[in-house]
Structure 1
Amino acid sequence: MNCTDKPVEFQSLLTDELASALRNYRQWHCRPDEGKKATVLDCGSARAIFESGPIRGRAHICTLTTTAAGAVMRDFRDSGAALRARLQSLSSDQLWSLVQQVQAEGQVEARLLGFPGAFLRSEHLQVDWKPAKLGWVAIGRGMLTAPGAPSGKSVRTWVQEGASCVVSLLRSTEPQFDSARRACEAAGLRWEHCPLSGKLAVTLPAKCKSYDDSVSLERLQRLLPELLEAQERVVLHCAAGMHRTGAAVFGALRDSGLTAELALAGVADMRPVTHAALLAVEKAYAPMPLWAVIEAATWTTPR
Structure 2
Amino acid sequence: MPDQTEAPTFDCNWVPVGNGRLTLWHRPGARAVPALRAFGCDCVVTLLSAREGAAVVGELVEQVGIEWVWLPLENGQPPRGTASEAVLAALPVLAERLDGGRSILIHCSAGIHRTGMVAFALMRWHSYTEEQGLAAIGRMRAHTGAGVQRKQVDWGNLRVVPGLSSPSARAGQDAEPDAAADGRLGGGS
Q: Which residue number corresponds to residue 71 of structure 2? A: 194
TM-score with structure 2 length normalisation? Answer: 0.74
Q: Return the offset for 1:234.
A: 0.6
Q: After TM superposition, list the pairs within 5 Å mapping 1:162-181 onto structure 2.
A: 162-174=40-52, 176-181=53-58
Q: Return the offset for 1:172.
A: 2.0
Q: Choose the corresponding residue for 1:184, options 61, 68, 90.
A: 61
Aligned-partner residue type, residue 62 of structure 2: E
* Counterpart check, 1:215 vs 2:85: yes
Unaligned runs of 5+ in 2: 165-189
TM-score with structure 1 length normalisation? Answer: 0.48
Q: Would you say the 8 A contact 2:123–2:133 is kept in 1?
A: yes
**Cα separation, partners in 2 of 1:241 and 1:132, compared to 1, 3 Å:** closer
Q: Following superposition, which runs of at least 4 residues in structure 1 exceed 6 angstroms of deviation?
A: none
Q: What is the distance in 2 between the residues matched to 1:274 and 1:153? A: 22
Q: Return the offset for 1:260.
A: 1.4
Q: Return the offset for 1:296.
A: 4.0
Q: Return the offset for 1:228.
A: 0.5
- Identity among equivalent pairs (%): 27
**Cα separation, partners in 2 of 1:296 and 1:264, compared to 1, 3 Å:** closer
Q: Return the offset for 1:216.
A: 1.6
Q: Return the offset for 1:251.
A: 1.6
Q: Which residue number corresponds to residue 158 of structure 1? A: 36
Q: CA RMSD in A?
A: 2.7
Unaligned runs of 5+ in 1: 1-84, 90-129, 281-288
Larger-Rg structure: 1
Q: Return the offset for 1:294.
A: 2.4
Q: Would you say the 8 A contact 1:172–1:195 is kept in 2?
A: yes
Please identify which structure carries the higher strand content. Answer: 1
Q: Which residue number corresponds to residue 126 of structure 2? A: 256
Q: After TM superposition, list the pairs within 5 Å mapping 1:5-24 onto structure 2.
A: none
Q: After TM superposition, list the pairs within 5 Å mapping 1:1-303 onto structure 2.
A: 133-174=11-52, 176-200=53-77, 202=78, 205=79, 208=80, 211=82, 213-278=83-148, 280=149, 289-301=150-162
Structure of greater relative contact order (alpha carbons < 8 Å, 6+ residues apart): 2
Secondary structure of the residue that 2:85 maps to in structure 1?
Answer: helix
